[in-house]
Copies of this chain bind each other. A is one copy, B any other.
Amino acid sequence: MDAFTALAHPLRREVLAMLRKGPLTSGEIADAFDVAWPTMTGHLTKLKEAGLVTAERSGTNILYRLNASILEDTAAMLLDLVAGKKSKGSKS
């Protein structure tokens, strides 16, 4: 799943906003929203596939962490649509 598609779902954008403050476990994220746990796992998997987050085990928990560079890249692509810049993909 590409970043644009991943960002299309409001819940996934809210998850990203949560992760801004720091990494969180799947349980903490799922608990913050009114969805079943497997549903949240599905959203997190899509965010991971899009490269917007990274996952890392921490004992029994799994920490999800925001990957800011992909978001910045995606925002840059949007601005390219407006400004007509040709530069693509050259990041970090």
Contacts and interface: CB of A to CB of B under 8 A. Distances in A.
Interface of A: 4-5, 7-8, 13, 16-17, 20-21, 66, 68, 71-72, 74-76, 78-79, 81-82, 84
Identify whether the interface residues of A are mostly helix, strand, loop, or mixed. Answer: helix
Nearest to A71: B82
A91 B44 CA distance: 31
A20 to B, nearest CB: 5
A21 B72 contact: no
Nearest to A67: B82
B78 A74 contact: yes
A72 B72 CA distance: 13
A76 B74 CA distance: 11
